[in-house]
Amino acid sequence: MTGNKIQLDKNGNLKHFLTTEGLSKSLIHSIFEHAESFANVGERSVKKVPLLRGKTIANLFFEPSTRTRITFELAAKRLSADILNLNISTSATSKGESLSDTLHNLEAMHCDMFVVRHSNSGAAHYIATQVAPHISIINAGDGRHAHPTQAILDMFTIRRHKKSFENLRVAIVGDILNSRVARSEIHALSTLGVLEIRIIAPQTLIPKDVEKLGVQVFHNMDEGLSGVDVIMMLRLQNERMRGALLPSKHEYFQRYGLTKKRLEKAKPDVIVMHPGPINRGVEIASDVADGEHSVILQQVSHGIAVRMAVMAMIMGRRPKDSNEDS
């Protein structure tokens, strides 16, 4: 399910943002260029541009989130949009109202965009097929399927540190099986033409036939990290695990935790990434998460700029349409 038949309009522009699978390299670079123009908005005395003034964006988070929801909210506010946060736990949906009726009620409130997080894979794609033609959908994470804005903000972070992608060796470490981030990262990295994508995990946390995505599989952490330029750590998705896939968190850290000693296997200028939330002492040591190679907090900052870029592009607005503070 690439989603590109409904993700792009007839002119090849973003209508929705559902997945990184099938996105063109030129479109990803266009998002980068827009994000660069928004990267310093947060440092201004007035942290806003009026690009989406008068637009209404609804955050529909059917699954708990803090970092992603807040960065989407900040992105919308910095574009001067009105933002509506729907508390699903107290909404009519929790009282038995169908998802379709909830969406139609929000349409009647003249919303322009829904940012959707859902525990079911394909939910954002389904919602995009159900809403009125004037409403756009951004996928903020659906089940094990995709988390496209996280992948693009990670690509943006890599680009700022490494400038180009062509000669990079990237290692993705951890719970590949249950990670929607990993899938979106692999598609984006492949499109951007990195030299090599490695995934490092125990056999029980690697999806079947993952090699078809063009990755190299490693079960030994030291071998997998040898000579890499970028390390992407993933948390254990305990809430999605079915059965006992790991003996213990302690043993997992002993074999797959990122420590300073293991970091020495990578390139001297390696960058360490993590989409969060971090489980210190499980997948990463604190002195690495907070160390000189870590760009984890930069990922959070870049997330606002990238999400501003995606929202503006979907609404057909360019940064040069307004260079003044609102």
Secondary structure element (H or E) that encloses residue 257, with its range: none
Tokens for 322, please give them. Answer: 């307004």
CATH code matching the domain that covers 4-146+302-321, chosen among 3.30.70.100, 3.40.1010.10, 3.30.300.30, 3.40.50.1370: 3.40.50.1370
Decide: helix, strand or coil at residue 166. Answer: coil
Residue 240 has a pLDDT of 47
Mean pLDDT along residues 284-308 = 97
Q: Residue 101: its pLDDT value, please?
A: 84
Write down the pLDDT at residue 98: 79
Q: What secondary structure, in 3-state letters, does 112-136 show?
A: CEEEEEECCCCHHHHHHHHCCCCCE
- CATH 3.40.50.1370 range(s) for the chain read 4-146+302-321, 148-300
Condensed to tens digits (0 to 9), the pLDDT of residues 199-239 reads: 999 999 999 999 999 999 999 999 999 999 999 999 987 65
On whether the CB atoms of residues 326 and 48 are closer than 8 A, the answer is yes
- Let me know the angle formed at the C-alpha of 295 by 292 and 301, rounded to the nearest 5 degrees: 135
Burial call 66-75: b when 16+ CB within 10 Å, e when fewer: eebbebbbbb
Residue 143 tokens, joined: 């089940």
Cα–Cα distance for residue pair 135/83, rounded to 1 Å: 14
Give the mean model confidence (pLDDT) for residues 12-33.
96
The whole-number pLDDT of residue 317 equals 79
Mean pLDDT of the chain: 91
Query: What are the φ/ψ torsions at residue 69 (nearest 5 degrees)?
Result: -60, -45
Q: Indicate the class that CATH gives domain 148-300.
A: alpha beta
pTM of the model: 0.92
Q: pLDDT tens-digit profile of 46-63?
A: 999 999 999 999 999 988
